Amino acid sequence: MKHCQIFAIAAAAFLSQAAIAAPYLTEATITPLPDQGQYRVDVRISRLIEQDGKQVEELLSKPRILSSVGCPASFYQGLDSANPDYRNQDNVRVDVSWPYPKESGLAYCTVTIKHGDQLESESKMQLEITGPGRAPLVLSPRVVAGKSVRVETDKSRGRAYVLLEFAGKTPEEARAMALDNLGNKVQIQDANGKLAGSGFITGTYKDIGITLSYNSEDEANRVAHVLEGAM
């Protein structure tokens, strides 16, 4: 994974022919934080104006976004559209993303400036990330701390989760494995090494374990039962 990728982007305002406005300058820096399983985006948005016969920058917004790798994120600054003064004020939206560790994908940063609903400026930068790819992580009772396995449900989303910690690893090794496998697929094997299921890693657990996501509580319970070494 690249440790730092700087996006420097400048965009003139998109205006109707009758409108009069200054262009904008947008600068963005995306910094992957592999040791934390996150990426940070720092953005600086300025309006270029004439002052004392010179063109100077007037700072409009300086957002910072912190998100987990593989998870798109957004930032919005401005009034709610229901506010009576919304049409008379500028608003800023930043949309960003970075691929999961070791996986190919698109890193991007889009900055949109509007005056009410009217587009003033839109700056886009994207970068194709090519990763080596990953083989599915193999989990079995031999590599999982059986007593740590638990199931939680989120009925509002219709999802169930298997949470677990790794066995026989130092906290540092377990944390590195958890972060390195964010977004990865898993193969579940029973105590005899036979394939007993699969899954998808959607997050970390206690910073040294992982969270597997399933469509039903029954499926999650079956996987948890296997990893506990009960079958």
Number of helices (H) and strands (E), helices first, in the chain? 2, 15
pLDDT tens profile 89-120: 999 999 999 999 999 999 999 999 999 999 99
pLDDT tens profile 170-203: 999 999 999 999 999 999 999 999 999 999 999 9
Q: What is the mean pLDDT of residues 2-21?
A: 37
Q: Quote the pLDDT of residue 50.
A: 83
- Measure the CA angle with vertex 69, ends 133 and 131; round to 5°: 20
213 close to 161: Cβ distance less than 8 angstroms: yes
d(CA 42, CA 180): 24
96 close to 109: Cβ distance less than 8 angstroms: yes
- Domains of the chain (ranges, CATH numbers): 5-129 (no CATH), 137-227 (3.30.70)
Paired tokens of 76: 């919005």
Q: What is the mean pLDDT of residues 5-9?
A: 42
d(CA 32, CA 38): 6
Residue of 155 and 14 predicted with greater confidence: 155
Paired sense of beta strands 195-205 and 209-214, if any? antiparallel
Contacts of 135 (CB under 8 A, 6+ apart): none
Say if pTM beats, i.e. exceeds, 0.85: no
Paired tokens of 83: 């506010």
Nearest to 32 by CA among 66, 83, 63: 66
pLDDT tens profile 50-92: 888 888 888 989 999 999 999 999 999 999 999 999 999 999 9
- Return the CA Rg of the chain: 23
Nearest to 104 by CA among 75, 78, 129: 129
Question: In Å, what is the CA distance from 154 to each residue of 107, 215, 225?
Answer: 29, 10, 19
